[in-house]
A = this chain, B = another copy of it.
Amino acid sequence: MPEKPRLRVGLIGSGFMGKAHAFAFTTASRVFDLPFELELHTLADATAELAANAGRALGFAHSTSDWRQLVDDPQIDIVSITAPNALHKEMSLAAIAAGKHVYCEKPLAPTVADAREMTEAAEAKGVKTQVGFNYLCNPMIHLAWEMISGGELGDILGYRGIHCEDYMADPDSPFTFRHDPTGGGALADIGSHALATAEYLLGPISQVMGDCVTMIPKRPNGQVAVRRVEVDDIGRALIRFASGATGSVEGNWIATGRKMQHDFEIHGTKGALAFTQERFNELHFYSVGDPAGRRGFRRIEAAPDHPPYGSFCVAPGHQLGFNDLKAIEAAGFVDAIAGRTAEPFNFKAGQRIQTLVETIQESSRTGRWLVV
C-alpha cells in the first residue's frame, strides 16, 4: 500500500472552535480512510506564547502570532479559520490568494456582499472551501434527508425548525461584540443553523416573512454603563419552499433553559419526522403505512445502518458526540479536496445562508414578504 499524500493544516484561533477543528482533523484521520495523511502543521493565535502553548496542546508542529505568515506558508494546504467573525473575510481572501483550501467557521461574513466576494475569489482561484455547519453532518440528519428524498414521507406538507439556546437570556450578561450591528444577532448566529437544516432537507426557501426582535434592549457595558443592543435576540420567519412546502423557523439566543434546541418536525402525506439536537443520536419517524392500531413515532437510534456512524463504532446505540460531528465535517472537506465528493457546505452555501438571513432581516424591517 503506497504512502498517502500529505495535507498540511494551518489553524487560526484556538478557542472553542479552534479546539474543535484540531480535534476534528485528528479524529477524522483516525476514524476515516481519508485520501490524505493529515498533518497539523501550524497554529496561529494572538500572541506567540498563546500560539505556542495551544499549538503544543493541540498537536501542531509549529506556531506563530502572525496569521499572515501561516497563510503564506507554502507548506500549508488547508487554512482553518476560527478567529473572530470580523476577520473571516480578510483571512479567507488572503488564504485563497495564497492558493489554500479554506475551512472557515460560520458566519462566513457579515454581509452577503462580503460572502459573495469570498465565494467568487475561491471559485476564481479554484480552491475548495467549507463553512462550519456541523449539525448537517449528523448521520441522523443524513437519514432524514435520505428518507425524504426516497419518498418515505410522501409529499411534504409542513415544516417547523428552530435553533434555540440561552447564552444571552440573562439580561445582566454584558454587552459583547455579538450585540453590535456587525455581530449579526441570534438569527445570524444560530438561526442560520435552522435555515441550513431546512434547505438541506427540503430544498430552497423561496419566500420569507421575518420578525426579528430585540427583547433585552440594553445590556451592561462595564461596571456602571449600559449599551443599546442593535441586533435581534429572536429571529422568526414564516417561510415558503420552492417545492411548495411551507413552514416556519426560529433562531433564539434568549431561550431560557435550552442549550441545544436545534429541532425540527416535518409532516408529509406518508409520514413524519421529529428531531431534537438535545438527543441528536435519535430520529423519530411516523409511518402512515404501519398497521392501524400500531402506528406511532418510532425512535430510531443511530447505528451502523446510518453512515458514517459505523466508522466511529460498530455497535448501535453507543452514540456520537459533538466533536464527532466536526470530525465528519472535516473528513467531508478532505474528501472534497481529493475530488472524491462535492464540497459538503462551501462558501457558496455559506453565502446562501447569509442571503436568507439578510432577506429575513429586511423582511422584518419592512413588514413584507420577500422573495429570496
Chain A interface residues (CB < 8 Å from chain B): 1, 15-16, 19-20, 22-23, 26-27, 29-31, 33, 52-53, 56-59, 143, 153, 155, 157-158, 160, 162, 164-167, 169-171, 209, 211, 213, 215-216, 233-234, 236, 238, 244-246, 248, 250, 252, 254-260, 265, 267-272, 274, 278-280, 282, 284-286, 288, 290, 292-301, 303, 305-306, 312-324, 367-369
Q: Taking A236-B248, A317-B278 as contacts, is the C-beta distance between A294 and B286 under 8 angstroms?
A: no
The 20 sampled A-B contact pairs (Cβ below 8 Å) are A16-B313, A16-B314, A22-B30, A30-B59, A157-B254, A166-B267, A209-B209, A215-B244, A236-B238, A248-B250, A252-B267, A254-B267, A256-B272, A258-B267, A259-B316, A278-B317, A282-B296, A293-B303, A320-B321, A367-B368
Q: How far is the CA of A125 from the CA of B279 in the complex (A)?
A: 45
Whole-angstrom CA separation of A305 from B248 in the bound complex: 33
CB of A152 to closest CB in B, whole Å: 8
- Asked if A248 and B246 make an inter-chain contact with CB atoms under 8 angstroms apart, the answer reads no
Which one, B31, B153, B244, contacts A23 given CB within 8 A? Answer: B31
Instruction: Given A20-B313, A234-B158, verify A299-B296 contact (CB < 8 Å).
Output: yes
Partner of A26, one of B26, B272, B312, B367: B26
| CB <8 Å contact, A313 and B323 | yes
